[in-house]
Structures are given as structure tokens and as C-alpha cells.
Structure 1
Amino acid sequence: MTDNGACYRSPAFAAALGEGVKHRRTRPFRPQTNGKVERFNRTLATEWAYARPYASEADREAAYTAWLHHYNHHRPHTGISGQIPSERVHNLTGKNT
């Protein structure tokens, strides 16, 4: 999901998304949506990308999977009353038995 900036409407961006990816755009003048994306980007920067020095970009990339697991399965989120996202979402892989 992106805003409606010109760079996200370009053929190059559409090609970068690849086959099978549906591009969704935020509605114009909806700070509620953009604010959520901007907050997630800030969390990415402070808790993962720049939380510590990495020896290389490959090391940073390698740390992402573990951070994302922590974010979704162990980290309480104030926006959902201190719940963990994996507790709140009912259709995660492996939860439908």
C-alpha cells in the first residue's frame, strides 16, 4: 500500500512489484492511513534498521526476519490495547486446524 505519489504510479514501480502483487493506494487526504504507515516505517528504523550498527547490509537484511517475527509474535502494540498482533489475527498460517 502506498500513497498516490507520482513515483508509485510509474510503470517502473508497477514492474518492480511483479506478477501477482496487487498495488493498493491510500485514499487522498487520509492521514489515518498514512499515519499508520509512517509510524511503522519509524518503528522499522528505530527498532531494526538503525537499532545497532551492522557490519554490512547483508547483516542488516539477515536480522530482518528475526525482528519481524518479534514484532508480530512477541511485541505488544499500544494501538491494539497492548495485544500482540499474532494473538489478534485469527487466520495466521498454522492457526487454522
Structure 2
Amino acid sequence: VQEAERLHGKLEQVPFLVTDNGSCFLARYFQKAIKDRFRHVRTRYRTPQQLGLLERFHQTLKREEVYWQLYEHPQDAREKLVAFRDRYNSIRPHWALAPAAGGDVLTPEDVYVKGRAITLPRWQGWAKAAKEKLDESMHQDAQLRQAA
């Protein structure tokens, strides 16, 4: 939440937290911990591809950072992982983020912070449909809150 507010200013809506259906995410303790802080969205059962972007990030993190480092102590690991995240989001171009106007691929910061338009690859059509469904759901929630 702090990072989102740092990048975009005060959040207008409660952010959503997407998880799989692991027992830790279904537990009452977890639900109590996120209550009023996040809207919890769980992926459908037996659909690991719904967390594909996160899984892909973890694979990149391991291949480009973790396997190449010897961490001196836990704080050293935290600092190097923060540096990787910053590099991943603001320096490292992502081949799937092709600018709509053409040219070299962009970084996530270019797209999600600076608002540069991209052309979604064909294989990401499901992501567009999922975002539209989520936006519709959030719009309905906002209408219900206004009516209450």
C-alpha cells in the first residue's frame, strides 16, 4: 500500500490482494489480518495460470538474482532484493511491454507509473478479460457502497 501510494498518491479504493487457495490464505487469522485493509480475491481452484505473472516474476528473480549471489546475512539479502526489484521495475525492459506507437520495449515503470500505452501480446488476451471483469466487480461494489 505504501509503495502504491508513493507512486500514485492516495488510493481511492481499498486495494485487492490476489492469492491462491492455500490453507494459509483461507485461515481465519489471515482473513482477520487483512480485513478492512485489502479486498481478498482468490484464484479459481486448479488454475495455476491465474498466478502466472507472479510465478514468472519469481522465476526471473531466482535466475537473474538469487542464484548468482552469496548473501552475507539476512539484511544483505533484503538490500540486494530491493535493488533487484528497483532494477526490474525501472531499468530492465520487458519484452511483453511493446509500446503502442512502436519502438523499443518498455519497463513496468514506463507503463504503470508514467502511463505509456502498450499493445498487449495476443497471449495476454485473458489478462485483459480478467481486468475488465475485475473493474466491473469493483464498479458494482462502489455502487452498492453509495446506495448504502
TM-score normalized by structure 1?
0.72
Query: Structure 1: which amino acid aligns with 2:109?
Result: S
1:35 paired residue number: 52
> Which fold has the larger relative contact order, with Cα–Cα distance below 8 Å and residues 6 or more apart in sequence?
1
Q: CA deviation at 1:18?
A: 7.1
Q: In the TM superposition, what is the alpha-carbon distance from 1:49 to its structure 2 partner?
A: 3.2
Pick closer, same or farther for the CA change 1:13–1:49 going to 2, 3 Å.
farther
Deviation, 1:29, is 4.2
Segments of 5+ residues of structure 1 without an aligned counterpart are 93-97
Q: Matches of 2:84 and 2:35 in 1, distance apart?
A: 25
Greater Rg over alpha carbons, structure: 2
Counterpart mapping for 1:1-97 below 5 A:
1-15=18-32, 17=34, 20-81=37-98, 82-90=105-113
Corresponding residue number in structure 2 for 1:95: none
How far apart, CA to CA, are the structure 2 residues paired with 1:91 and 1:17? Answer: 29
How well do the aligned residues superpose, as a CA RMSD in angstroms? 2.5
The change in CA–CA distance for 1:43 and 1:55 in structure 2 (over 3 A counts) is same
Moved beyond 6 Å, runs of 4+: none
Gaps of 5+ in 2: 1-17, 99-104, 116-148
Paired AA for residue 85 in structure 1: P
Structure in which a larger fraction of residues adopt helix: 2
Moved more, 53-62 or 73-82: 73-82
TM-score, length-normalised on structure 2? 0.51
Bigger fraction of residues in strand: 2
Q: Distance in 2 between matches of 1:61 and 1:2?
A: 23
